Amino acid sequence: MMSQPDLWGTGLKTFAMLCIVVAILILVLFLMKRFFYLKNGSGHGQFIKILSSHHLSPKQRVALIDVVGEKIVIGITPENITFLTKIEKSEALNRIESLGTAGTPHGVFAGFLRSSLKGKGH
């Protein structure tokens, strides 16, 4: 007479192995994210930093970036990135630096635009 396989025992073993594999996968992904963040995301050694970004539409935005100390304004769309201007005036650079440390809720670029418009009487 043949004995029937223990379906409950086999099902529990399969479920336990699945849980172990998923736990190992989550642990490996967490460790990879942690090491890549420490290597790339700490802010040290980065040559390009996004100082602020302002969305014009859902897929278009203007960004103020710092490339090795140079402040550059670019336009970003899904198709391309366009150079708009380079900020060279020391007065504007000082405003950007002071707004960056103040932590405005709408970002450095929005604060810079607002303060620039106030200075021109608009």
**Shared domain check, 55 and 37:** no
Tens digits of residue pLDDT in 13-31: 999 999 999 999 999 998 8
**Shared domain check, 106 and 68:** yes
Confirm whether pTM is higher than 0.85: no
**Shared domain check, 109 and 75:** yes
Spatial separation of the C-alpha atoms in residues 65 and 42, rounded to whole Å: 17
**Shared domain check, 103 and 54:** yes
Spatial CA neighbour of 51 closest among 94, 89, 99:
99
Query: What is 50-89 written as a DSSP string?
Result: EEEEEEEETTEEEEEEEETTEEEEEEE-SS-EEEEEEE--
**Shared domain check, 59 and 95:** yes
**Shared domain check, 40 and 12:** yes
Residue 4 is part of which domain span?
1-44
What is the pLDDT at residue 102? 46
- Please tell me the total count of domains within the chain: 2
Spatial CA neighbour of 109 closest among 59, 49, 47:
49
Give the confidence band of 38 by pLDDT, cuts at 50, 70, 90: low
Is the pLDDT assigned to residue 120 strictly greater than 70?
no
**Shared domain check, 29 and 9:** yes
Tens digits of residue pLDDT in 63-118: 888 888 888 889 999 999 999 888 887 766 677 666 654 444 456 666 666 666 66
What is the pLDDT at residue 54? 84
Q: Across the beta sheet with 60-67, what order do the strands follow?
A: 48-57, 60-67, 70-76, 81-87
**Shared domain check, 34 and 60:** no
